Amino acid sequence: MSKENDKKEISFSPGAAAFARFRKDYMALIGSAGIFLIFMSAVIAPIIANGRPFVFFSKLSGLSFPFLRYIFAPDSSEAVVEKIFNFLLIFLPLSIIIFLVSAGWKRKKLFVSIASGTALFLLIPFFTTSHILEKTDWLKAASEFSQGEFAFFAPVPYGPFSTTGSPYEKPSRKHVMGTDHIGRDVLSRMLYGARVSLAVGFLATGLSLVIGISVGLFAGYCGGKTDMLIMRIIEIIICFPTFLLLLILMAVMMDRKYDQSILIVIAILGLTGWTGLARLVRGETLKQRTFPYILSCEALGLPVWRIMFFHIFPNISGPVLVSFTFAVAEFILAESGLSFLGFGVQAPTASWGELLRQAFAEPFLYWHLTLWPGLALFITVCSFNFAGEGLRKVFDPKE
């Protein structure tokens, strides 16, 4: 019995202990559920709302699958973001199947190798499939079917760019959330707008993490004059008004007709939002720098980069993870604010901030353009904040 208890204690890792504490926080679980809901709605957006039929059969053209080409070559000016989420739409179910099969064989390395190979194989059609201009009105074609012809559409048979109704229609059976200022379905644009918000939130935060962690570790580990110089540079960068810088750069890119506006937003937010994280990492590194295990690593002659990233960083990852969740919410709000002002993601790309902007003149008259994107932003930001607060409690030794 004692040996079994020892095995249980050994298998109960610090990560498992942190997860056990996290599960006891109901607000954190609600936040995690909200993040999962928003993320999955963004991933499966083409399954829920799409103007192209999954299967189309007519006696004239035969059997075709118009939906497949859209997956690999989306008709969007922000094609990079669309391809990322479309890749996840295919890869995530396949990875779950591979995991279940490999778990039955109890081989983790097999899962990693098969999943990696599958991911690389799936990337090929995303790079090789060319985009074509599609002007077919599939709904109209389906309405003219004769006996024996059929088509299967998504539950919401409208794409985010399709004008399918009158401007500013109120919610109805045809358009559950109404239409926007030119008659596009709001529900479809809300789902695809979630892709934009999450892409900005995660990618901009990831970029700021890479820079902030690297700079903070280097400053904290080196100390002395190097630390002082880096901190003065950080203080100078903090003095720049980030939002004003975003407005200026976006205006310049709009004048140059740059289509991938979301990439500019991600780059600017990531390159200007790392300073707070760098200061946090630097402070935690200064604490770890004096511990005996770091002195032992130095005595063994380990390279500085290995000491910083393989020994110090794992011991300060808790506060970094907490900062990550709050930063995602902050960047999502920043993107929505830019789009609301007309300097963010450009039309016709769907964005929650852009939908709010359409209702700015008459927010109560066009209440459906105020309610749905506002509610989505509220749920998303609260979910990340609840999850971040739960993580803070898990990693805070005083709690």
CATH code, residues 186-395: 1.10.3720.10
- Domain coordinates in residue numbering, the chain: 186-395
Res 217: pLDDT: 92
Res 106: pLDDT: 62
Res 13: pLDDT: 65
Q: How far apart are CA 275 and CA 102, in angstroms?
A: 42
Q: In what order do the strands lie in the sheet with 55-58?
A: 62-64, 55-58, 150-152
Look-up of token digits 């600017």: 268
CB contact at 8 A, 324 and 202: no
Res 259: pLDDT: 58
Tokens found for residue 312: 């110090």
In the predicted model, residues of the chain with pLDDT beneath 50 are 1-11
pLDDT in tens, 122-139: 999 888 888 777 777 888
- Rg of the chain in Å (alpha carbons): 25
